[in-house]
Amino acid sequence: MSSLLVQQRSTAAPTSSIRLASARRLIVKIGSALIGDAETGEIRGPWLETLIEDVVRFFARGQQVILVTSGAVAVGSSHFNHLDRSLRVEEKKTAAAMGQVQIMCAYERSFRRHGFGVGQILLTREDIDDQHRRLNAASTLHQLLKVGAVPIINENDTTATAEICFGDNDRLAARVAQLVNADVVVLLSNVDGLFSENPHDNPAARLVTQVRCITPEIEAMAGHSLARHSSGGMVTKLMAARIATDAGCEMIIARGDKSYPLAAIENGGPSTWFFPPL
Binding site for ligand ADP (CB under 6 A): 31-33, 189-191, 194-195, 197-200, 221-223, 225-227, 230-234
Side-chain half-sphere CA neighbours of 211 within 13 A: 29
* Residues 20-39 contacting ligand VHF, CB under 6 A: 31-32
* Binding-site partner at residue 73 among ligand VHF, ligand ADP, none, CB < 5 to 8 Å by type: ligand VHF
Q: In what order do the strands lie in the sheet with 117-123?
A: 117-123, 149-155, 64-69, 25-30, 184-189, 250-255, 271-274, 210-211
Partner interacting with residue 222 (select from ligand VHF, ligand ADP, none; CB below 5-8 Å by kind): ligand ADP
Helix (H, G, I), strand (E, B) or coil at 7: coil
Ligand-binding site membership of 81 (annotated) = no
Applying CB under 6 A, does 73 fall inside the site for ligand VHF? yes
96 binds ligand VHF (CB under 6 A): yes
Burial class (CB in 10 A: 0-12, 13-18, 19+), 120: middle
Radius of gyration of the chain (CA): 18
Q: How far is the CB of 172 from ligand VHF (least distance, A)?
A: 7
Pick the closer one to ligand ADP by CB: 144 or 238: 238
- Is 3 labelled as part of a ligand binding site? no
Residue 144 or 253: the one with the smaller Cβ distance to ligand ADP is 253
In the bound state with ligand VHF, the residue whose beta carbon lies nearer, of 158 and 210, is: 158
Interface with ligand VHF includes 72 (CB under 6 A)?
yes
List, as one string, the DSSP characters of 122-142: EE-HHHHHSHHHHHHHHHHHH
Q: What sections of the chain are H helices per DSSP?
A: 9-22, 32-35, 45-60, 72-76, 89-113, 125-129, 131-146, 169-179, 216-219, 233-246, 261-266
Choose between 32 and 50: whose C-beta lies nearer to ligand ADP.
32
By the rule CB under 6 A, 157 interacts with ligand VHF: yes
Closest CA to 166 of 270, 239, 108: 239
Q: Tell me if 237 is assigned to a ligand binding site.
A: yes
Q: What's the min distance (Å) between Cβ of 199 and ligand VHF?
A: 17
Task: Report d(CA 50, CA 63) in Å as an integer.
Answer: 18
Q: Please identify which residue in 41, 71, 151, 193 interacts with ligand VHF, judged by CB under 6 A.
A: 71
> Burial, 64: exposed, middle or buried (Cβ in 10 Å; 0-12, 13-18, 19+)?
buried
CA gap 215, 66 in Å, rounded = 29
155 scored as a contact of ligand VHF (CB under 6 A): yes
Binding residues for ATP: 29, 231-237
Residues forming contacts to ligand VHF in the complex (CB under 6 A) are 31-32, 70-74, 96, 154-155, 157, 168-169, 230-232
Binding residues for substrate: 70, 157, 169
Binding residues: 29, 70, 157, 169, 231-237
